[in-house]
Amino acid sequence: MVALQKEVVDMTGARILLVEDDDVLRNVVERNLLARGHEVYSAIDGQSALDYLRTTPIDLILLDINLPDQTGWDILRAIQCEEWSFGPTDEMLQGKLPVVVLSAVRVSPHRLAEFHPLAYLPKPFPMEAVLRLAAEAAKRRENCARQKTDEEGSHA
């Protein structure tokens, strides 16, 4: 008799790019995300953010709009122009970028409609909202990994 083993997909955290130039806020958000098992890559300006995006798989971007070298909108334009893919999670997001826009100034609905971010959090924002969005990104990543494992198993 052959025993069937069910492959367990570990719940892993999301891979999060935190783009924030305010040291205090960046450190608080980063510590909270790390404490919940997420991988966090921090960028203090737009160029660093784009460098991470070119080399590192990311599940969620927490993006400040007012950065020292360029705006968050410039980064979103670069993402669109370079047609970066965020992998299998693209389909799960139904056309929305896995981006949470963070801003201390009011963001126009026109801008949000132009870029279709996953969410907009005006500063100051509740940490629970960021943690919920990060948990959802981790769940999408887990579901994609499980789906890929199931597809590979059905082709074997």
Domains of the chain: residue spans and CATH: 15-149 (3.40.50.2300)
pLDDT band at 6 (very low <50, low <70, confident <90, very high): very low
- pLDDT value, residue 96: 65
| pLDDT tens digits, 7-66 | 334 458 999 999 999 999 999 999 999 999 999 999 999 999 999 999 998 999 999 999
Long-range contact pairs involving 124-132 (C-beta distance under 8 Å, separation at least 24):
127/28, 127/29, 127/32, 130/29, 130/32, 130/33, 130/62, 130/100, 131/32, 131/33, 131/36
